[in-house]
Each structure stands twice: as C-alpha cells, then as structure tokens.
Amino acid sequence: MLSKNIEDTLNKQIKIEAESSQIYLSMACWAEIQGLEGVAQFMYNQSDEERSHMLKLVKYVNERGGHALVTDLKAPKTKFGTFKEMFEELYQHELFVSNSINELVHTTLNEKDYATHNFLQWYVSEQIEEEAQAKTILDKINLIGEDRGGLYLFDRDIQQLSVTSSIAINSK
C-alpha cells in the first residue's frame, strides 16, 4: 500500500512523463515541417516511449492501492529556433526528469518504501540512457556545425541512433 505522500509524488511523475511525451511530439511536428524526416521519426518514437513510461507508473500506482490521476498538461513549445536549440532544450528537459526521478527515489528511502524504491530503479537506469543519448546527439550536432551536408547525413543517421550507456553495459 502506498502512503499518500508517495502516491502524490508518483502522480506528479506521471504528469511529468505525460508532458515529456507531449514535448517530444511537439518537437516531432516542428522537425517534420522543417523537412527533417529522420529527426521527426526519432521524436515520434521518443514521444511513444515517454508515454509508455507514464503508463508503467499509472499501472504501478493503481496496483499498489493508489489512484493514478490523469491531469491537465502544460502545453509544450511549438517552435524551436534551430534543430540544435531544440536538442539543447531536450537535453535540459532530460536533466529535469532525472532530477525529478532522483527526488522521488529519495522520498521512497525516507519513507522506507522499498518496493517503490525497487520499482523506480528502472527509471533511474532509463534516465542515464536518456541523458547519454541526448548528450551524444548534441555532440554530433556540434561536430556538424553549419554544414548543410552534415545536417542531411545526421537527419538520415539519427533514425539508427543507439546509445549504450555504462548502466546498460554493466547490466549485461
């Protein structure tokens, strides 16, 4: 059974994951109208992934005797100056999500809710991967600079991007 405090903080995280899905969806739409089909597809996939993260939390809250809440969401930005600025915002957002997960984990330890603490370890690992992926993309964008040919290749290559973080290597 979840404490009221844990239930509330999990519901806050559900909203963050839902908003993350919306942010990626908005980025996908922007990239698509810029002619960046590869970036758009990457963002659509990320949006779906964030929604699955949200649903995993929803199911957990309900299974543990809580009530997962579906609330209104903050509308995401719809325009991004450049694709580099968009990916910089994405990276900052992933850092925000990581911090939120870490605070949630801290709360579970303070309340000695080891079941939820254990459940959240998947999110901790996932955020390490999300941050590593965003950082790798930014590094590639910085390598490209203003080269339009490089942007074309990047747009094609991002569809196959796969980042293996240290956490994934250690868990094999």
Binding residues for Fe cation: 17, 50, 53, 94, 127
> Which helix (DSSP H) or strand (DSSP E) does residue 65 occupy?
none
H helix intervals, 64-162? 83-110, 114-144, 148-157
Residue set of the binding site: 17, 50, 53, 94, 127
CA dist., res. 133 & res. 31, Å (int) = 18
* Residue 9 exposed, middle or buried by CB count within 10 Å (0-12, 13-18, 19+): buried
